[in-house]
Structure 1
Amino acid sequence: MSTTIEDAAARASAPVLTPTLSARVRRSRGRLVIAAVVVLVAVLGVLIAGQSTQQRPELDPASATPTGAKALLSVLRAHGVEVRTATTLAQAGRAAASASPDDLTVAVFDQNRYLSPAKLAADDRLDARSVLIAPAPGMEEALRAVGRDVAVIRTASVLENQHIANASNAGEAIRLLGGTRVLIWYTPSPADVGVGTPKTIADLTPPWVTPLIVLAALVCAAAAVWRGRRFGPLVVEDLPVVVRASESLEGRARLYQRSDARLTALDALRMGAVGRLATAVGLGPGAAVADVCAAVATQTRLDPAEVRAVLLDAEPASDAELMSLARRVAAVEAAVSSPSTPPTRPAVVTNAAETERHGRIVTTGSSRERQR
C-alpha cells in the first residue's frame, strides 16, 4: 500500500501561519499610499474645476452659471441682433469699425473699474449709442459731455441668468440692448489700464512673497545639508565584497515574500531537488522531470501522482502551502537518499512537551503501524 507525501513530510518546525491583517497592510502600504495620492489628486481636481466654474466673471457672455449673461445674449441673437464680444478697448474699436453708428449699440460693464471714463469718451470709434451697466462714478457724465446717447442700468444682477426671467427684466434688457442691428458686449480687462499695468510677477504679488520665497530656499538648502551629513562620510571598501550565503538566501527570500512570488521560490527549490534526485536515481542531470518523478516513485514506492504534484504540478496559494510543499520536497529527497529506510511513515517529533510527558518519541504514524 502506497503512502502519501503529506504523511512523509517532516513536522518538526513550528506551523506557518498566514499573514495577519497588519502584516498585509504593511506589505501593501506602498500601493495604499499611491491609491490615496491618486484619490486626493482627483478630489482636488474636481474641487478646483468646480471653483473655476463658479469663479467666472459676472455677466460673462459665454457663461451659463447663475451669474453669467449667456441667456440674455442668446435671446438677443434669436431676435436677429449680431452680438460681438470684446475684452479690450482695441477689440471694441475693431468690432465697431464695420458697423455704422446708427446700427450699433455698445454695452459696457466695467466691474473692476479698469477703464477710465475719459479714455472711453475719447475713443471716436465707439461714438454710438451706449448702455452702461453699473457704471463707475463719472462715466455717464463723461459720455454725455461728448454728445453720446447714454442709457444706464444701475444694477448688473438684473441681467444675470438667475434673474433675467424675473418680473420685466428680460423685456427691459431687450428694449435697451436689442434696438440696433449690432451689439458690442464690452467687458474691460487689465489690458485697458494703460501705462500703469504691472509687467512683472513681483509687481503682481504682495511685497512679502519675495522674502518668503528666499526663506523657503534657505530652509530647503539647510535641510539638504542636514540630511546629507547625517549619513556620514563615504567609506572606501575593497572589492569584491564577500557576502555570506545565508545573507544572500535571506535577502532573496524576503524579496520573494514581499512580491508574493511563492511559485518562483518553490520552483527554485524544485529545480535543485530534481537535479539531485536525477543523479541519485541514476538518470543524470539532463533527464526529463517526468522521468525523474517516475523513477523516484518506483524507488520509494510512493504514489506517482503525488510525487509529480510535489516536484512539478502543485502551486501554493498561501505561505503555509508554500512551506508545506517545501517540506514535502525535502521529504521526497530524503526518502531517495535513504533507500534502506522502509517506505512507512517516518518518525518525527511533533511536540517536545509531549515527548517529555510520555517519555517516548511521538510519531506521525498510526498505532497499528507502530505495533507492526
Structure 2
Amino acid sequence: MTAQAPLAPTAATDDTAPPSTAAAPPRGRLGRVLGWVFVIVLLLGIALLSLRLLTASPDFAGTLHPESPGPNGAKALAELTREQGVQIEVTRSRTVAAASLSSGATLVLTDPPALSDEAVHELIDGADRVVVLTSSSRMLRLLDLGERSPAAGPVRADCAAVEFSRVGTIDADRMFTPAEGVAGCFRDDAGDAAVLRAAHGGTTITLVEGARLLSNQHLAENGNAALGLALLAQTDEVVWYVPSFGDGDRGDGEAVGLGELTPDWVTPAILLLFIAALAAIWWRGRRFGPLVAETLPVTVRASETMHGRARLTAKAADAPHAAEALRDGTRRRLAARLALSTRATSQQVADAASDRLRVPRGSLYDLLDGPPPHSDHELIDLARKLADLETAVDAAVHTERNRP
C-alpha cells in the first residue's frame, strides 16, 4: 500500500521541512512473528479458561445460604428466626438432615440440583413440615403443587393460614396456579398464588419463590421479614439443608460438573471454532503490511474556513447564529479601535462608541446585544447597521488622530 502524493503543494518547502517517513524501512520479520506468537498464546489462554469454566462445578452457596452475609444470602432471616427462640441446624448432608428431623421439626431447603427425584422424595417424606424456598419447575412437578404463572406483583395474604394473617403485602417475584387440592395464599385477582401449601401423607409442604424476597438485600422491604418468620418460626427446631454437588446421589456421589451435563458435541465445536478463528487471522492478517506514516503539509486559508462556515450557516437558515457571529466580530473590532480590552462586554463597547459618536447608548445596546433576528431580511438589516456603526467609529477615531 503506497501513499499518493498531493496533487499540488499548498505550502512552500525548504531545507528545514521534516523528512518524509514514507520510505522508512518496515519492521523486521522478528517483530511480526513475536506479535503473532503473543496473539496465539492469548487465544489459547482464553480457550483453556473457557474449558475450565465449563468443567467447573458452579457454587450455589451464596443463594439463600443461612450463613452467607452477602446480598443473596439468608443469614439475616436465620438470625431473625433464632431471635424467636427457634433452634436452626445447618447441614450440607442429606443423611445428617434426615437423622436430625425429630418430631415436629421443619425442613428448609432450596431446589437440590444434585439429588435425584428419589432422593428428594426420601428426604422430604421424613419430615413433618417442609418449606421450599425456591420454585423450580422440577420441584413443582415432583411435589405436584401446580404450574408457574407469568403474573407477579404486590399481593396480600387472603387465605385461611393463621401465620400469614399479619404478614401484610409482599411484592411477589413469581406467582403459581395451584393444582387440585393445593391451597394458595397471597392470591391476585386471577386466582394465582405466591405461596403454595399442600399435604402429602403426613408431610405439610409449603413452597414460595424467595430468592429475592427472603434475601439479605430485600428482607426489610414490605412484609418480607414477616413472611420469613411465618414460614420458619412455627416450630422449635429447623433443619436447614444446603444442597451441594458433593452430596449428590448421581454418579456414585461424585460431583456433577457443567461439562458433564452439556452435549458431547460442545467441546469439539469450541475447538473447531478456535481453529477457524486462527485460520481467519492468518488468512486476513498476512495481507496487511506495516503502517506507512507520511507528513502531508496542508495549508487552509482563513477565507476558505470563513466561506465554508458561511455556507453551512446559510444552508441551515440559522439567522440567530449568523447574527451572533456578526455581533461578536463587530464587538471585537470596535474594542480594538476604541482601545478597550479584548474581553470588553457589549455594554462597555456601546458606552465607548456612544461617547465617540454622541449618540444614545440605548440604541447601541440593542444593536450589539439585542434580540436575535428571525429572518434573512432582519439579518441583512442588522448586518448593514453593524457595518455602518464600524464605519462611523472608524471615521471618528481617524478624525481625532488627525487633529493638530
TM-score over 0.5 for the alignment?
Answer: no
Q: Which has the higher strand share?
A: 2
Shorter-chain TM band: 0.3 to 0.5
TM, length-normalised to structure 2: 0.35
Instruction: Identify the structure with bigger relative contact order (alpha carbons < 8 Å, sequence gap 6+).
Output: 1
Q: Point out the structure with max Rg over C-alpha.
A: 1
